[in-house]
Amino acid sequence: MLNFEFYNPVHVVFGKETVAQLPVLLPRNTRIMLLYGGGSIKKNGSYDQTIKALQGFDFIEYGGVEPNPRYLTCMRAVEVVRKSNIGFILAVGGGSVVDAAKFIAAAALYREGDPWHILQNTGTSPLKDALPLGCIITLPATGSEMNCSAVISRQATHEKLHFADPKVFPRFSIIDPQFTYTLPERQTANGIIDSMVHVIEQYITYDVNTPLQDRMAEGIIKTLIEIGPYVMDNPSDYDARANIFWCSSMALNGMLSCGVIQDWTTHKLGHELTARYNLDHARTLAIILPAVLRYERRNKAEKILQYGREIWGIDDENLEDAIDEAIYRTEEFFHSLKVPTRLADYKIDPMEAAVAIRQRFETRETILGENADIDALAAYEIIRSC
């Protein structure tokens, strides 16, 4: 096991009718920005419940955060935060809104230059401070409700970049799974895949003797696979929705990554596809993960075999066949959620994408993978095979 630090101070309030607890979680005597996206929170009931709970608080609304939240949208909100003397940001919606809230909270107090630098930082975080924030999360997918990471996109340059800093942990996250009853099938499927790939990027690497972390990873994947197809057919089953949501929060709250080797290649390549073609985040993962596993089948052999054995019950004596089968079963699972796994399914030319991403990797001198072997050429090969 590697040395590690674990720190996650998010106060999770999980269950039915938990928005009613908002008044005891929010600070008094400061102005709050109620941040949200499009119309979904007005359909699922979370907006109405939030407005009711906010009675007696000083707050302003700021809507319009888009999926894959944009830098310019966030910066417009930062202007409002500064002008309106906002002291707390309350995000209501999916991971995009929570990510935007984190970036706004950081950028509002960033006085050291262009806030875009917050996202370009590759070493230690440049943040000295951030506004406090909390969230009511209505979509199980990104895990943003229980971590200190965010991903922000810049349209002009086709960039989708990530930052992380403990200063932007939500002070609290309210999770009422009932808000997910009205999710479109597409978003339910996306969330299951996003959560599953979060787990896999912390699990299918190389082994450093962490059996508990492995079993926790396998526990989340098994639960997602078991309940995922069921919840697609039973969208208003509370326990199913609650279990999916808790899997999603646990998938990326720092618990699985304790002491293990990680590999975020699939996510990083996925961000490139989203930035370029505006594909849903989870759909890029469903395309890229199988290709990454095939490309890295030697380096990841031991863990792919363990994954196949523990998750899919694959016990083939021919190890190459067992690896193929594990990857194939993963693709089949994505298909069972009606999510395609090829670029061609979205009418994207793999060669065009591969060339563009190779250029991006060359420009940035990007190297990914737990063995630092995913360079521009490897990225090109992986994308070409999608």
Check binding of 277 to its own copies (CB under 8 A): no
Whole-angstrom Cα distance, residue 311 to residue 204? 12
Helix (H) or strand (E) holding 72: helix 71-83
Q: Does 247 bind its own copies (CB under 8 A)?
A: yes
Residues in contact with its own copies, counted by CB under 8 A, come to a total of 41
DSSP-derived secondary structure letter, 70: B
Tokens standing for residue 153? 């996109």
Rounded to whole angstroms, the Cα distance separating 39 from 44 reads 9
Judge residue 355's burial from the number of C-beta atoms within 10 Å of its C-beta, 0-12 exposed, 13-18 middle, 19 or more buried: middle
- Taking alpha carbons only, the member of 357, 336, 211 closest to residue 288 is 357
- Which DSSP state fits 30? S
Q: Which is nearer to its own copies, 80 or 225 (CB)?
A: 225
The window from 13-21, 31-39, 63-71, 372-380 that contacts its own copies (CB under 8 A) reads 13-21
309 touches its own copies by CB under 8 A: no
- 35, β-bridge pairs: 62, 91
> Does 259 engage in binding with its own copies (CB under 8 A)?
yes
| Interaxial angle between packed helices 265-277 and 185-201, expressed in degrees from 0 to 180 and rounded to the nearest 10 | 140
For residues 223 and 299, which CB has a smaller minimum distance to its own copies in the complex? 223
Q: For residues 10 and 171, give the distance between their C-alpha atoms in angstroms, rounded to a whole number.
A: 5
Interface with its own copies (CB under 8 A), residue from 15, 45, 64, 340: 15
Q: Site residues for its own copies, window 190-219 (CB under 8 A)?
A: 209-213, 215-216, 218-219
Does 239 help bind its own copies (rule: CB under 8 A)? yes
User: Which residue, 9, 175, 30, 13, is CA-closest to 88?
Assistant: 30
The reply on whether position 2 binds its own copies by CB under 8 A is yes
Residue 235 CB, nearest distance to its own copies (Å)?
Answer: 16
- Kindly state whether residue 264 participates in binding its own copies, applying the rule CB under 8 A: no
First and final C-alpha spacing in the chain = 34
Element (H, E) at 188: helix 185-201
Query: Which CB, 242 or 288, lies closer to its own copies?
Result: 242
Name which position in 4, 79, 112, 352 contacts its own copies (CB under 8 A): 4
- For its own copies, the closer of residues 10 and 288 by Cβ is 10
User: How far, in Å, CA of 291 to CA of 286, rounded?
Assistant: 9
Structure tokens at 297: 């089948």
Segment interacting with its own copies (CB under 8 A) among 105-113, 121-129, 181-189, 221-229: 221-229
Stretch that binds its own copies, among 95-103, 251-259, 318-326, 369-377 (CB under 8 A): 251-259
Interface with its own copies (CB under 8 A), residue from 75, 109, 258, 301: 258
Q: Does residue number 22 form part of the binding site for its own copies (CB under 8 A)?
A: no
What is the Cα–Cα distance from 173 to 133, expressed in whole angstroms?
9
Q: How far is the CB of 346 from its own copies (least distance, A)?
A: 32
Q: Which of 250, 152, 139 is nearest to 184 (CA)?
A: 139
Shortest Å, Cβ 215 to its own copies: 3
Backbone dihedral angles phi then psi of residue 162, each to the nearest 5 degrees: -120, 145
**Shortest distance in whole angstroms from residue 77 CB to its own copies:** 28
Q: Give backbone dihedrals phi and psi of 84, rounded to 5 degrees, phi first.
A: -95, 5
7 binds its own copies (CB under 8 A): yes
Contact 97, 133 (CB under 8 A): no
Residue 101 makes contact with its own copies by CB under 8 A: no
Q: How far is the CB of 7 from its own copies (least distance, A)?
A: 4
* Span of 245-253, 300-308, 315-323, 350-358 interacting with its own copies by CB under 8 A: 245-253
State which residue, 14 or 206, has the beta carbon closest to its own copies: 14
Angle between helices 281-295 and 319-336 (to 10 degrees): 170
Q: How far is the CB of 65 from its own copies (least distance, A)?
A: 26
In the complex, the residues that contact its own copies under the rule CB under 8 A are 1-16, 18, 209-213, 215-216, 218-220, 222-223, 226-227, 238-239, 242-243, 246-247, 250, 255, 258-259
